[in-house]
Structure 1
């Protein structure tokens, strides 16, 4: 799916990749997670990206303190532990797809 490729490459910024690199990222993103998981991760990472934008923070690479503050904010908003865990997993997955350590 195009959205998975965009999730994987949206925050690469000045990093130059070849078409083959981009295709490999796309294929990897499609193969590793189920469609439902990819949809949930896209939504979760979009929430994190929006949260970061409101605070002028970079979502990738995300500072550990930013992730912790995001999760605390989400917990204070009433999200369940399962959802919070999935949001952390989505952030880690986006970093992995971008070739960064989670």
Structure 2
């Protein structure tokens, strides 16, 4: 009997794109995509630079905080719609709970 079975060591890790977390990599990738769609070199440089700046800002804000910090921030800061609403929690505009 061979023991080549893969045993995962960490089950609850955040999703990653390469070496970066998804919430840090998406602004940079979106900036590159917008720059590519602009069709000019200057537009690409500006959009890619802005995407990298936002990505770097997010990584600085996220450091030393909970891994789901931006999910919590989005829940409390963004308006409630089908994309940001969570089923098991009350709406974010209800700040005081009785009970």
Same fold by TM-score greater than 0.5: no
Query: In proportion to residue count, which structure has more helix?
Result: 1
Higher Cα radius of gyration: 2
Query: In proportion to residue count, which structure has more strand?
Result: 2
Q: TM-score, normalised by structure 1?
A: 0.34
Q: TM-score, normalised by structure 2?
A: 0.35
